[in-house]
Amino acid sequence: MNRQSLTRYAWLSIAAAVFTMGLKAAAYFVTGSVGLLSDALESVVNLVGGVMALAMLTVAARPPDEDHVYGHSKAEYFSAVVEGSLIIVAAGSIALAAVQRLLEPRPLASVRMGLAISVVAALANLAVALVLLRAAKRHDSITLKANAHHLLADVWTSVGVLVGVGAAVATGWLRLDPLVALLVAANIVWTGYRILRDSVAGLMDEALPAGELAALRSVLDRYLPLGIQYHALRTRQAGPRRFCSVHVLVPGDWTVQRGHQLLEQLEEELRAAVPNISVFTHLESLDDPASWADMEIDRPPATRKGTGSA
């Protein structure tokens, strides 16, 4: 899978941010709406997020090297963390501007033109967000997923602004504009929180999702009736790459060749059950008590006479 090709989606996001930022800034200067100002600020954050996504996708696409033997795919989580943080910062900026306008309402001007410009910007963001979401799902990229949700948050901002400005003009109650901006800010905070939560889970080496764990266990359980057991099944995910390690216990009188052939077959089946996974297996004897002493991350000191730590 060529991860370097994913950078074209980051360039698409950057182009969309620049385009919509210009449109929304023009809409704000035309109308003087704090809602449209909040929309423009969100596009500035989109631009920064797009640049960060480009940088991290470039790093994540690098092949493994001497210092990073498992690859660089975790770099995508850093982009998502920054993206989620920027979303929350943008929400704070929107809320601050809204509160100021709530205390000091101002009349709006050239509303139709401003709203028309905002609609064009929202449609552009929606189109790009949908493209990024499909690419994120196809390539299992948390960076593209975070970037897409950021753009969708921007779309919701635009929708809220359109409703707020329209309602303020229709009713004459100018405080509707900043009130809607506050509601939009709250929704954006929730989006940022979800992105941060998923990113931190990846950085903390959280286990694979329940469905993928079940698929791995299903493969291993098929060998139990044959007298083959397993334990110490551990999984984690780094961007699109999955990792799995497991200890496989076989009768002590098996030859090395027989055990090796079993592990080769088992690893092939595990890779077929969960795509894009690296599998590490460790062969142990069912007849050796020491085989049951390494089920946890920290193995206790050896207690058998003449044995040492593996």
Any idea what the CATH number is for the domain that residue 154 is in? 1.20.1510.10
Same domain, yes or no: 224 and 147: no
Distance CA 111, CA 127 (A): 24
Are 58 and 156 found together in one domain? yes
Residues in the chain, overall count: 310
Residues 17-52: tens digit of each pLDDT: 888 888 878 877 777 766 667 667 767 777 877 888
Q: Is residue 280 part of a domain?
A: yes
CB 20 within 8 A of CB 41: no
User: Per-residue pLDDT averaged across 187-202, rounded?
Assistant: 79
- Percent of the chain scored above 90 by pLDDT? 26
Residues 167 and 244 in one domain: no
> Are 165 and 97 in the same domain?
yes
Whether 304 maps to a domain, the answer reads no
The pLDDT tens digits for 163-180 are 777 777 777 777 777 787
Please tell me the pTM assigned to this model: 0.64
Domain that holds residue 251: 210-292
Long-range contacts of 25-31 (CB under 8 A, 24+ apart): 26/117, 27/113, 27/114, 27/115, 27/117, 27/118, 27/121, 28/114, 30/109, 30/110, 30/113, 30/114, 30/117, 31/108, 31/109, 31/110, 31/111, 31/113, 31/114, 31/115, 31/165
Rounded distance between C-alpha atoms, residue 135 and residue 140, angstroms: 8
Hey, is 173 helix, strand or coil? Answer: coil
The set of residues, in sequence order, having a beta carbon less than 8 Å from that of 289 and lying 6+ positions away, is 304
CATH number, domain of 259, equals 3.30.70.1350
- Cβ–Cβ under 8 Å, residues 94 and 82: no
C-beta separation of 57 from 72 below 8 A: no
User: Hey, which of 146-150, 280-284, 302-306 has the most confident mean pLDDT?
Assistant: 280-284
